Amino acid sequence: MRICRIYFRWLRVQVEGLENVPSSGPALFVGNHAGARMHEIYSLQYAVHRLHPAERIVRPLVGWQMGKFMLAGHFTFQYAGAVVEHPRNADHLLQRGELALVYPEGSWSTAKSFRERNRICAPERWGNSFVRTALRNRVPVVPVAAHGFEAAVPTLWQSRLLGRFWRLRIGTQPVYPQTFFTFGHPQAGGLFPFPVKCRLSIGRPIDLRDLAPAGGVGTEADIRGISLQVRSIIQRRLDEMSAQRRR
């Protein structure tokens, strides 16, 4: 937790809603992702483990592509306790009573510009698999809004050349100010964030069955509708935090 603590203090992270973290039992955290940056993951892990009385551990589910990068892969899988994002892995964690963390934006979060900071990606790029996972395992979803982390490593532009070189799935790589002294590595720049002030807001646990239509979840459209409702909850909280910051 030492590296988590370093980033937590360097970014002066303020945490709201720690009382909403379940003291026992499984839960699925769902949040907005600041692209290739991992600071919101480390900050959430530190807050739940060090600041919550139950001292629980949050296990992030991340894309297998992270394993391609030696430095970032080591921090993510060996240090942060992440596992490859797959339904069976998610089921295993939740059936063991653990706290799992997913980001439905996936790789598309890296495609956002600095102007789009604190905005969730377009609805068509927001995933649905977390709804199936939560309903299948009968666990609550805990929405998490991460605000300000994208300003710590701001995106200047998207590079197709670097995207092809590193064989990134979306075809482009965000270029940060830190990219220029990390030799174009897509993950290393995120290790050196600017000391901006960031916030985490943990919402109340949601039983997704309460968001389902009256007849229950029977079709893909029902699952999609629940997923977009969770997205709206997180985006609404991000908008509130942005408004508070402008005052």
Domain locations along the chain: 2-154+197-246
pTM, rounded to two decimals: 0.87
Highest mean pLDDT among 50-64, 154-168, 179-193: 50-64
Integer Cα distance of 145 and 120 in angstroms? 10
Q: What is the percentage of the chain residues whose pLDDT exceeds 70?
A: 85
Task: Output 6 or 189, whichever has higher pLDDT.
Answer: 6
* pLDDT tens-digit readout, 97-114: 999 999 998 876 776 778
**17-70 confidence digits (pLDDT tens):** 999 999 999 999 999 987 666 888 899 999 999 999 999 999 999 876 665 554
Output the pLDDT for position 66.
60
Q: How far apart are CA 134 and CA 45, in angstroms?
A: 20
Q: How far is CA 121 from the centre of its chain?
A: 12
| Most confident range, picked from 6-10, 81-85, 95-99, 178-182 | 95-99
Burial class (CB in 10 A: 0-12, 13-18, 19+), 182: middle
Residue-averaged pLDDT of the chain: 86
Considering the segment(s) 2-154+197-246 as one domain, its CATH architecture is 3-Layer(aba) Sandwich (3.40)
Using the 8-state DSSP alphabet, how is residue 77 labeled?
A: I
Query: In percent, how much of the chain has pLDDT > 90?
Result: 52
> Once rounded to an integer, what is the mean pLDDT over residues 201-216?
90
55, 16 in Cβ contact below 8 A?
no
Select, from the ranges 104-118, 163-177, 214-228, the one with the highest average predicted confidence (pLDDT).
Answer: 214-228
At 4 the pLDDT is: 84
Residue 184 confidence (pLDDT) above 50: yes
